[in-house]
Amino acid sequence: MKMAKPRKHPKMKEVIIEITDVHGKGKCSRGHQVGEIFEYPEDRAKMCPSALSVIRPYILVLAYGGSNIYNKDNPDSFSVSCPDAKHPVVYEITRKSN
């Protein structure tokens, strides 16, 4: 079954998700590796569903114009890890500047 192409809301900003670290033994249970980059929403089907369910709220904050009030150096990004207790993957979520 082929997935429909995600539609983007006209006010939605582009968001980039990059894997910056994999803790534990350095192996993601899903096979993701440091340096992988995903664009949201285009690449969401390529991402681990468990990780996406955790990081999606942060993605949507940036996509719809919000910011990270706790990161004064770069309010256009969040650093979030997935829920895998043995091999947590760290994702850097950044709003793409136009």
List the beta bridge partners of residue 79: 92
* DSSP state at residue 72: S
pLDDT score for 25: 85
pTM above 0.75, yes or no: yes
φ/ψ of 52, rounded to 5, equals -60, -40
pLDDT 10s digit of each residue in the chain, 98 long? 666 666 666 678 999 999 999 998 888 989 999 999 999 999 999 999 999 999 999 999 999 999 999 999 999 999 999 999 999 999 999 998 76
Considering only CA atoms, give the Rg of the chain. Answer: 14
φ/ψ of 44, rounded to 5, equals -60, -30
pLDDT score for 7: 63
- Secondary structure E strands in 1-98: 15-22, 37-40, 77-81, 89-95
